[in-house]
């Protein structure tokens, strides 16, 4: 995973609450047993004029020429709710987004972001609105994960993020690799637990 410490980029405002993962990547766009080939399907239901079509709908904000090359997505509350499909994050990342800013996220979506090098930044609604307005004006937005700040012009907002998630993002770590270093601890836990709860440890 590519580490993400700081980023200054254009942002695109998609100001709706409850943007669900079915909207981010419709199930019909998840065509192969793969984590890639998803960018074209991103927001397909809103982005194109008709289902199955690839003709951009000019009314959808992602198709606005001002926001080409945006790497930051700004949206409403409860972003990424619904289905747990990680394809939603894979599609956002493949399209080019490294950061999503919203008042709140669905917990599964948020965890999926961290595992894929996309920073989920929660800010109060007022701050999100200010950043969205800045994005509308074509201003860039700067994220600093180390300082836990996001700024646009003179406005600077601080956000909170768990140490674990922040480290994962900043160092581009593979969680599985990290956990496998604790093999011995895991084996010891399982051996001890097996004595207490043998019925849990089904054998194949």
Partner 1 sequence: MIGGDSAELSRGQTGRHTKARTLAGMLWEEHVVASLDSDTDLLAIDRLLLHERTGGVALKSLDEAGRQVLAPGQVFATMDHIVDTFPGRSDKTLMPTGTAFLTAMREGAHKHGITLFDLHDPRQGIVHVISPEQGIVLPGVTLVCPDSHTCTQGAFGALAWGIGSTEAEHALATMTLRADRPRDMRITIDGALGRGVTAKDLALHVIGHLGSGGAKGYIVEFAGSAVRSLDMEARMTLCNMATELAAFGAIIAPDGTTFAYLQGRPFAPVGDQWEAALADWQRLSSDEHAAFAIEHRFDAANVAPMISWGTSPQHAMPLNAMVPTAQSLQGSVGQADYDRALAYMGLSPQIPLLGMPIDAAFIGSCTNSRISDLRRAAAILDGQHVAPGIRAICVPGSTQVKAAAEAEGLDRIFRDAGFEWREAGCSMCFFAGGESFGAQQRVVSSTNRNFESRQGPGTRTHLASPETVAASAIAGRIADPRFREEASA
Please give the residue ranges that form the binding site for partner 1 (CB under 8 A).
15-18, 20, 22-23, 26-35, 45, 51, 76-78, 81-86, 89, 104-108, 111-112, 115-116, 162-165, 175-176, 178-180, 182-183, 185-186, 189-190, 193, 196-204
Structural tokens at position 99: 């950061």
Tell me the closest approach of the beta carbon of residue 174 to partner 1, in angstroms: 9
Judged by CB, which is closer to partner 1: 69, or 163? 163
In this complex, which beta carbon is closest to partner 1, that of residue 8 or of residue 55? Answer: 55
Minimum CB–partner distance for residue 155 and partner 1 (Å): 22
CB-wise, 158 or 179, nearer to partner 1? 179
Q: Are 160 and 179 in contact (CB under 8 A)?
A: no
Q: How far is the CB of 175 from partner 1 (least distance, A)?
A: 6
The least distance separating partner 1 from the CB of residue 20, rounded to whole angstroms, comes to 5
């Amino acid at each position: 995973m590519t580490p993400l410490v700081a980023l200054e980029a254009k942002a695109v405002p998609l100001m709706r609450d409850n943007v669900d993962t079915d909207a981010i990547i419709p199930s019909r766009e998840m065509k192969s047993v793969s984590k890639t080939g998803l960018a074209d399907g991103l927001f397909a239901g809103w982005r194109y004029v008709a289902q199955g079509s690839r003709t951009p709908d000019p009314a959808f904000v992602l198709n606005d020429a001002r926001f080409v090359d945006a790497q930051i997505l700004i949206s409403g509350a409860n972003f990424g709710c619904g289905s747990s499909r990680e394809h939603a994050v894979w599609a956002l990342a493949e399209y080019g987004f490294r950061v999503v800013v919203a008042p709140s996220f669905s917990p599964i979506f948020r965890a999926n972001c961290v595992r894929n090098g996309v920073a989920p930044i929660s800010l109060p609604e007022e701050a999100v609105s200010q950043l969205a307005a800045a994005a509308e004006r074509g201003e860039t937005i700067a994220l600093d994960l180390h300082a836990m700040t996001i700024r646009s012009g003179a406005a600077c907002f601080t956000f909170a993020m768990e140490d674990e998630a922040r480290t994962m993002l900043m160092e581009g770590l593979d969680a599985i690799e990290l956990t496998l270093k604790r093999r011995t601890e895991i084996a010891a836990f399982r051996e001890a637990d097996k004595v207490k709860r043998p019925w849990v440890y089904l054998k194949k």
